[in-house]
Amino acid sequence: MNQAILSISPVSRFRAAMALAIIADALQIIVFPLFVQGGASPADDILDLGIGVVLIQLLGWHWEFLPSFFAKLVPGVDLVPFWTMAVVNVYRKSKQIPITIEGSRESTRR
């Protein structure tokens, strides 16, 4: 059998990652507090672990995901949309254009 490799464009990856991050944060902020009492919620922990794995699969490893994961484990802090902020920060950093040495030399000579 000929197996075709499915490739997803980077723009689609960021869109999917942003949608998942927003959905996960909305669940943790709006829905889970209605059904689960207390800070040690297994549903929150499972969701955080799953979202962390999926975001790493979509966008690759980024340091922004680690503080988001650990902050979500602290009771009460999960009311801040850390996953969404992490994906936005990864997107922002991916859009920065690195300045080459030649480009900086040309701009200083003028």
Res 4 pLDDT > 60: no
CB–CB of 28/69 below 8 Å?
no
pLDDT at 23 over 90: yes
Gap between the Cα atoms of 8 and 86, Å rounded: 21
80 pLDDT more than 60: yes
Enter the pTM of the model.
0.71
Confidence of residue 21 (pLDDT cuts 50, 70, 90): very high
What mean pLDDT comes out for the span 44-71?
86
Evaluate whether 80 touches 106 at the Cβ level (below 8 Å): no
- Whether 81 and 51 have beta carbons less than 8 Å apart is answered as no
Return d(Cα 36, Cα 79) in angstroms, integer.
14
pLDDT of residue 54: 93
